[in-house]
Structure 1
Amino acid sequence: MEASGGVAVLTGVRDLLPVLRERAQETEDRRALSAETVKSLAETGFFRLLQPARFGGFEAHPLTFLRGVRELASACGSTGWVASVIGVHNWQLALFPDQAQQDVWADDPGTRMSSSYAPTGTIRAVDGGYRVDGRWSFSSGCDHADWVLLGGIVPPGDDGTPADFRTFLLPAADYTIEDVWHTVGLRGTGSNDIVVSDAFVPVHRSLSFNDTARCVCPGQELNTAPLYRIPYASIFSWAITTPIIGMAMGAYEAHVSYLKERVRASYVGVRAAEDPHSQVRAATAAGDLDAAWLALESDMGELMELAAAGQRLPMRLRLRVRRDQVRGTELAIGAVDRLFENSGGRALQTGTPIQRFWRDAHAGRVHAINDPERALSMFGRGEFGLPISDAMV
């Protein structure tokens, strides 16, 4: 089902790209994706790529999903970002107990979820579940979702139960959205605040990050595809970096097109494309983007091969995935910076794709999963034989 379905989805995504490019400025001005854009994405089947087959999903290889993300982000950074984070949630819900999956998808398998994982709210364990209260920020695409995934820390219990970092699944009736998204980059993502007032979350609608780190989750009893046996940190982290690579690719395409016509005033009529320094900058940017993507393909391919064979995923591979992911972000940011610097003053004009991709890529860079020191330090600890306690690996 995945092979033919995935190809058809990617074909549908590519057919959308010209329209998304035309809407990019409108999307930024609106500060959210339009209903038409989300509907078009849903019609391609994109959001079903990582969804379990028993709910009509494709159970696609993560690379199929990430290739679609890269394409979308190369046309419109905000659209690629929202598509990625909304789309990867179907993969995470597949790890929850079956009842949670039924709650969301039984009546409508096309139901979407947004998220905010930073544990900024208050969680109390009660009989049968948890009481959830507080405010969570940066929930991209929340206006186009009917459920939300929120991160929270359950305090240690009186019986000695240790603290637990969990994800909590809430329906739209249990929260409100506050429009606070006024930013310089990724303006079209509608990443607003989620506010919850003492909502009850039954125990089956929560999932421990410790379980996702161990790759042993309740949903795997019914969702047995290899896709659901890879680490949360591996797929989620690349779901954040891939849109940034896509934005840098969009900047590259726009830059090359622009420089083919640009004439440098300081060189008396010399076409910018004939400038050897411009040629070197373009080559360096292209090489960095290729390196970032090749690392992604290698890492994700190896993870899936081992998962399909039922083999254990070695810690060194998991650490390498996080290392390559943060390096992928760094390479993409370096590429888009180099291209922006080489584009001249006209690239500063409002509405031009170069400056929008530059702002969007830097906005994506500040996501916590892109902090290089954390991921690189973990890799270094592993290389030196020191213990790794971080769940985001």
Structure 2
Amino acid sequence: MSHEVLDGVRDLLPTIRERADEAERLRVIPEASIKDLESTGFFRLLQPKLYDGFEADPIDFYTAVREIAGACGSTGWVSSVLGVHPWQVALFAKDAQEAVWGADTSARLSSSYAPTGKAIVADGGYTLSGKWSFSSGSDHAQWVLLGGLVFNAEGQIVDFKTFMIPRSDYEILDVWNVVGLRGTGSNDIVVNDVFVPEAFTLSMSDTGRCYGPGQEVNTSDLYKLPFHSLFTSTITTPIVGMAYGAYAEHVDMQQKRVRAAYLGEKASLDPFAAVRIARASSDIDAAWALLVNNIREEQALVAKGEKIPLSLRLKVRRDQVVGTQRSIDAIDALFEASGGRALAEGTYLQRAWRDAHAGRVHAANDPERALQMYGASEFGHKVDPGMY
């Protein structure tokens, strides 16, 4: 089924690219693009079979995201974020899954995981309040997943959880006015004293050890992979896709470009231009190959029933943040070598340049912290818990 979804996504790519300017103008992905992607089954790739999902190989999901982002960075970003959430919902208690998909298996969720909200322990659950930023694709979602610190009656922090909230219980603030990833509609979410039942929460300490109560009904190996491996790769993959899209447009532009300053020489005959695309393509391919290889390593261990070691999880993060940087470096080099025509509105290159740098500031792409954890672990030091 994944191959049919990928074929359907590829058929949509010209249309998605044509709508890229519209996405920037609207500051959200056009509803028609979301409906088109839904019709291919894309949003069901990581969804449990229990709720009409495909429980697909995550690499197939990432491949689809990469290609979507190669047509429109904002659409790729939102597709990736909305598309990965069904994987986490599958880890929630059955009651929560039923609330999301029982009446409509096409329901979608956005998110904002930074623990900027406060939850107070209450009878049977929690009372949640707060404001969260950067909830990409929130206009296309009926639920939201929010990170929050849990406080007991004495005011002590006792947990860090993800809270699942229906659309009726939160407000979306339209604040997304930015220069990159303009079409993602990454607006703020506001919640005021909403009661969240225990079943609609998931402790990050549980996901950190690859556990969730939903595994009782969703037994696929897919749902035994590390949360942070899948979710941080979800943030890097669109940027890798942008790099592939920028590369394709750069090569096409250079084959048509004549350099007036060099007596009408064809740009494609410039030996330095050939070296630039060789280096850029190697960086992009390396980013993608390492992402795929690392997820495959984790899958192999899960298939054998073995625990995924911290060293591998840290390696996933190492290569994920470096993969983002490699992709951005490639885009920068291609953009700088493309000439003045790449600056024109409507070109993929200038949009990819803006979108990739916007994606770089996401917390999952913070290279220093991820690399420091990897290096410290290699030296035998204990690393602080983090996004691994």
TM-score (normalizing by structure 2): 0.98
Aligned counterpart, 1:247: 242
Aligned counterparts, 1:87-98, within 5 A? 87-98=83-94
- Shift of the 359–178 alpha-carbon distance from structure 1 to 2, 3 Å rule, reads same
Contact 2:120–2:152 (Cα < 8 Å) also in 1: no
SS of alignment partner, residue 110 of structure 2: strand
Which residue number in structure 1 is paired with residue 279 of structure 2? 284
The offset of 1:312, in angstroms, is 0.9
Secondary structure at the counterpart of residue 220 of structure 1: helix
Q: What secondary structure does 1:64 align onto?
A: helix
- Report which stretch shifted further, 17-26 or 161-170: 161-170
Aligned length: 388
Determine which of 331, 334, 337 is the counterpart of 2:332. 337
Matched, 1:23 2:19: yes
1:366 aligns with 2:361: yes
Give deviations 1:173-208, integer Å, cap 9, x for gaps: 001111111000000011111111111111111111
Q: In structure 2, the residue corresponding to 1:50 is in which secondary structure?
A: coil
160, 174, 178: which one pairs with 1:165? 160
CA distance in 1, matches of 2:167, 2:270: 55
What SS is found at the alignment partner of 1:17?
A: helix
Match for residue 98 of structure 2?
102
The one-letter code of the counterpart of 1:232 is: F
CA distance in 2: counterparts of 1:156 and 1:215, whole angstroms: 25
The separation in 1 between residues aligned to 2:180 and 2:239, in whole angstroms, is 12
Matched, 1:72 2:78: no
Indicate yes or no: 2:333 matched with 1:319. no
Residues 46 and 58, structure 2, Cα contact 8 Å, conserved in 1: yes
- Tell me if the contact between 1:209 and 1:391 (Cα under 8 Å) persists in the aligned partners: no
Matching of residues 218-237 of structure 1 within 5 Å: 218-237=213-232
Distance in 2 of aligned mates of 1:144 and 1:258: 35
Task: Give the deviation of 1:391 after TM superposition.
Answer: 3.8
Shift of 1:222: 1.1
Q: Does residue 125 of structure 1 match 2:121?
A: yes
- 2:124 and 2:23 map into 1 onto residues whose CA distance is 42
Superposed CA offset, 1:63-115 (max 9, x none): 01000000000000000000000000000101111111011011111100000
CA offsets, 1:211-264, max 9 Å, x none? 011112111111111111111100000000000000111111111111111111
Distance 1:161 1:137 in 2: 24
2:29 to 33, 57, 63: 33
- Residue 12 of structure 1 deviates from its aligned partner by 0.4
Listed one character per residue, the Cα deviations across residues 23-70 of structure 1 (whole Å, up to 9, x for unaligned) are 111111111111110000001000000011111111111101000000
> What is the rounded CA distance, in whole Å, between the counterparts of 1:382 and 1:95 in structure 2?
29
Q: Secondary structure at the match of 1:111?
A: coil
Letter in 2 for 1:98: K
1: CA distance, partners of 2:212 / 2:132: 25
Whether contact under 8 Å (2:180, 2:355) holds in the other structure is yes
1:268 aligns with one of 263, 273, 293: 263
Matches for 1:287-298 after TM superposition, within 5 Å: 287-298=282-293
What is the alpha-carbon distance in structure 2 between the residues aligned to residue 108 and residue 388 of structure 1? 42
Q: CA deviation at 1:17?
A: 0.3
8 Å Cα contact 1:213/1:391 also seen in 2: no
Tell me the residue number matched to 2:135: 139
Structure 2 counterpart of 1:308: 303
TM-aligned CA deviation for residue 172 of structure 1: 0.4
Q: Structure 1 segments of 4 or more deviating over 3 A?
A: none
Given that 2:118 and 2:151 are in contact with CA atoms closer than 8 Å, whether structure 1 keeps it comes out as: no
Query: In the alignment, is the contact (CA less than 8 A) between 2:335 and 2:353 conserved in 1?
Result: yes
Corresponding position of 1:54:
50
Amino acid at match of 1:366: V
Aligned-CA RMSD value: 1.2
Structure 2 SS opposite 1:260: helix
Offset at 1:118?
1.1
Deviation at 1:163, TM superposition (A): 2.6
Q: Which string of whole-angstrom CA distances, capped at 9 and with x for unpartnered residues, describes residues 266-320 of structure 1?
A: 1010011111111111111100011011101110111111111211111111110
Q: CA deviation at 1:134?
A: 1.7
Q: Deviations over 1:347-386 (max 9, x none)?
A: 1122211100100011101000000011111111211111
User: What secondary structure sits across from 2:55 in the alignment?
Assistant: coil
Identity of aligned residues (%): 58
Give the letter aligned to residue 26 of structure 2. Answer: R
TM-score (norm 1): 0.97
Deviation at 1:155, TM superposition (A): 2.5
Work out the CA distance in 2 between the residues paired with 1:213 and 1:13: 32
Matched, 1:199 2:194: yes
Q: Distance in 2 between matches of 1:255 and 1:30?
A: 27
Aligned partner of 1:152 in structure 2 is 148
Amino acid paired to 1:271 = K
